[in-house]
Structure 1
Amino acid sequence: MLDTTENAVTSALTRARATLAGELPGRADAPLPGSPRERRIVDTFARAFEAGDVEAIVALLTDDAWLTMPPLPLEYQGLDAIRTFLDSVVMRDGRRYVLYPSRANGQPAFGYYVRDPRTPVLHAHGVLVLTLSGDRIGALTRFSDTALLARFGFPRTLRP
């Protein structure tokens, strides 16, 4: 069908895998989905995020971690940049969140809601996807489009 030999296809796959390994370092040793190792990392992250513990979140990140917010062109790389963003934007003024687990593209994810200090209502804030690398988190992808929550089965508001 492709008019190529099995050896040529094998060689192309080998080169492609090597290229991807260079582009996504650490992904090969990411824990298996749903494994106790993955649950431990994800649960630790969720507790730290809900507690507003920026230092505990940063301690879970790889040294070269990324925080991105598609479709916004904002990207933060490295522990100091991510710490500053979390402190000054995400957790500002004592803001607290409640996370509800999900999965996105085979990766651990959360629908996350901000607590309203005046009412018991939780307001949708977006979807947060974790990219694991070994026993750490190599990337946080934050989607702030609350309409995306419906695709994951989450409502815009919740009462805990």
Structure 2
Amino acid sequence: MGTDTQPADLGEIDEPAFSGLAERHRRELHVHCYRMLGSFEDAEDTVQETFLRAWRRRETFQGRSTFRAWLYRIATNACLDLLAKCRPEPATGGEVLWLQPYPDRLLDELSADEPEALAVARETIELAYLVAVQHLAPRPRAVLILRDVLGWPAKEVAELLGDSVNSVNSALQRARTGMREHLPAERQDWTGGADDAATRELVRRYTDASVATDIPALAAMVREDVRTSMPPTPGLYVGRDTVVRFWARCGFEGMTGLRAVPTAVNRQPAVAFYHWNEREGAYLPLTIDVLRIVGGRITEIITFHADRFARLGLPERLPADGTEQVRR
């Protein structure tokens, strides 16, 4: 994985050999489709569709581009087809109901020399970026990702999309303007990831306060303009007072029987919460909070439901004796 072996003639190789070539690029293509679609599961389906289309059209590969670039071309068009069919309109209002998290353990599979490895290092996998991208129309979104994230030349993007270079450049400017409208103002100043010492301490305090359902303590950790959402459930709550009222209204205060496991998704710190189930005699998955932290304060909390635990490699249950396997 990471090296782009150039096949001499795809028309002369059998399906197992073709699959072997394509599979080397599965993770980077999955990340690319995930960025286009915002959904982990839709990205998985689209990569499968990409490989199927590539096999069926293998004789169209003429070697004018690399095999990797050829697959990216097919994957991008597969994403555009899915968006046209299932999501013809981009997200609005600052929330993305179809947003799903991406586990860091899978991002770690990217080889250092892959375009997506460099893109992930540039913070274009964090949830705030994904949310902003999903507010763009599909074609400008594709242009932005190919040009600004993966570094494709305008000419190659134009060939992929069947547009002129001028059209691609115009779409890129529109996309950049749209991103500035939806990205956090301080994005360029983000500091500290899941492995930053100060961040780990803040996450530890957040975890303790959450397990204790100590709303005043939590309120002290969030910034005045904090945002929180819970896709796919509609609702974006902005501002400390609004968020605190939401916590109180949803019955969080006074809740007992919580346990927590630290994890990391989208290169951000996260906490998976479990709730005691008397009938099962174990703590069962509840929610996952993904945190964005700026200047020692929590600026965003995106909460995902229990159905994400398995995809993130989290335990299906925690035993009553307090032992569990924690995977990062």
Whether 1:83 aligns to 2:235 is: no
| Residues in 1 aligned to 2:219 and 2:202: alpha-carbon distance in whole angstroms | 13
Query: CA offsets per residue over residues 97-131 of structure 1, 9 Å max, x none?
Result: 21111111111112111234677511210221001
| Residues in 1 aligned to 2:212 and 2:274: alpha-carbon distance in whole angstroms | 13
| Residues in 1 aligned to 2:176 and 2:233: alpha-carbon distance in whole angstroms | 29
* Mean CA deviation greater in 128-137 or 83-92: 83-92
| Residues in 2 aligned to 1:40 and 1:116: alpha-carbon distance in whole angstroms | 29
- In the TM superposition, residue 72 of structure 1 has moved relative to its aligned partner by 1.1
Among 206, 214, 225, the alignment partner of 1:53 is 214
Whether 1:94 aligns to 2:246 is: no
* Mean CA deviation greater in 41-50 or 90-99: 90-99
Whether 1:152 aligns to 2:312 is: yes
- In the TM superposition, residue 87 of structure 1 has moved relative to its aligned partner by 2.1
Whether 1:72 aligns to 2:72 is: no
* Mean CA deviation greater in 53-62 or 30-39: 30-39
Structure 2 portions without partners, runs of 5+: 1-152, 156-164, 323-328
- In the TM superposition, residue 55 of structure 1 has moved relative to its aligned partner by 0.7
Greater Rg by CA = 2
What is the aligned partner in structure 2 of residue 2 from structure 1? 154
Give the counterpart letter for 1:102 in structure 2: T
Residue pair 1:51, 1:96 contacting (<8 A) in 2 also: no
* Mean CA deviation greater in 100-109 or 80-89: 80-89
| Residues in 1 aligned to 2:251 and 2:275: alpha-carbon distance in whole angstroms | 10
- In the TM superposition, residue 35 of structure 1 has moved relative to its aligned partner by 1.2
- In the TM superposition, residue 96 of structure 1 has moved relative to its aligned partner by 4.2
| Residues in 2 aligned to 1:25 and 1:96: alpha-carbon distance in whole angstroms | 38
Query: CA offsets per residue over residues 30-52 of structure 1, 9 Å max, x none?
Result: 33221111112111111111111
Among 211, 217, 224, the alignment partner of 1:63 is 224
| Residues in 1 aligned to 2:256 and 2:249: alpha-carbon distance in whole angstroms | 11
| Residues in 1 aligned to 2:205 and 2:238: alpha-carbon distance in whole angstroms | 21
Calculate the aligned-residue CA RMSD, in Å: 2.8
Equivalences for residues 2-151 of structure 1 within 5 A: 2-3=154-155, 16=176, 20=180, 23-33=183-193, 34-116=195-277, 120-144=281-305, 146-151=306-311
Residue pair 2:292, 2:298 contacting (<8 A) in 1 also: yes
| Residues in 2 aligned to 1:21 and 1:131: alpha-carbon distance in whole angstroms | 18
Aligned partner of residue 250 in structure 2, secondary structure: helix
| Residues in 2 aligned to 1:70 and 1:135: alpha-carbon distance in whole angstroms | 25
* Mean CA deviation greater in 57-66 or 77-86: 77-86
| Residues in 1 aligned to 2:222 and 2:264: alpha-carbon distance in whole angstroms | 19
| Residues in 2 aligned to 1:128 and 1:105: alpha-carbon distance in whole angstroms | 12
Structure 1 portions without partners, runs of 5+: none
Same amino acid, percent of matched pairs: 24
Decide which structure has greater helix share: 2
Give the counterpart letter for 1:129 in structure 2: V
- In the TM superposition, residue 62 of structure 1 has moved relative to its aligned partner by 0.9
